[in-house]
Amino acid sequence: MIVNPKTKLKMRNFGFCCVILLFGFWILNFNCYAQSISSAELIDNAKQFDGKTVVYIGEVIGDIMIRGEYAWVNVNDGKNAIGVWINKDLIKDIHYMGSYKFKGDVVEVSGTFNRACLQHGGDLDIHAQSLTKRIAGRPAQEMPNFKKRNIVILLLGALGLIWILTLLKRR
């Protein structure tokens, strides 16, 4: 079968377009990391971001507070924590909340940023439309610090000595 050179050209162009489109989608996937905004930027430029859709990434900390159909999830990106108001059906993925004993889930939130949310008495918050878990949290391993334990033993020894000396003095 002889393929028409014109058709061959069209097929090659079509192939090219497919590759470019696929590459484009691949890049777009990275773009949603690149487009996330830090808490410091959001807070410092609150007026510019007011009412806009933003992407915010951070660790869930503290308690998730469920209020009726919605919940407050406080998300800390290392500099500040921002309150995220989200439908309680969307937080089913969150298992770990950050505290002393736990590293919380790192989540990516997309939603409307409010400088002074009128629904919430002027709070600076994000009304999330979507929430994705990016990095799973885990219990934080606490290794007992042996240096400290040794210092404790030393101190207790010193105090014990003073106590004995005081008792002897009374005799």
Q: Which residues bind another protein (CB under 8 A)?
A: 43-44, 46-47, 61-67, 71-72, 74, 76, 80-81, 83, 85, 98-101, 115-116, 118, 120-125, 140, 142, 144-145, 148-149, 151-152, 155-156, 158-159, 162
Q: Which residue lies nearer to another protein by CB, 6 or 170?
A: 170
Residues paired with residue 103 on neighbouring β-strands, in sequence order: 138
Can you tell me the distance from the alpha carbon of 34 to that of 55, in angstroms, rounded to the nearest whole number?
A: 9
Strands 106-117 and 53-67: antiparallel
Which is closer to another protein, CB of 37 or CB of 43?
43
What is the closest distance, in whole angstroms, from the C-beta atom of residue 41 to another protein in the complex? Answer: 11
Minimum separation from the CB atom of position 165 to another protein (A): 9
3-state secondary structure of 3: coil
Q: State the nearest-atom distance from the C-beta of 53 to another protein, in Å.
A: 21
Q: Which of 68, 97, 86, 70 is nearest to 130 (CA)?
A: 86
Alpha carbon distance, N-terminus to C-terminus of the chain: 118
Contacts of residue 72, defined as CB under 8 A and 6 or more positions apart, other chains included, come to: 64, 65, 83, 84, 85
CB of 169 to another protein, least distance (A): 10
Amino acid at position 107, single letter: V
**CB nearer to another protein: pick between 18 and 116:** 116
Nearer to another protein, 5 or 139 (CB): 139
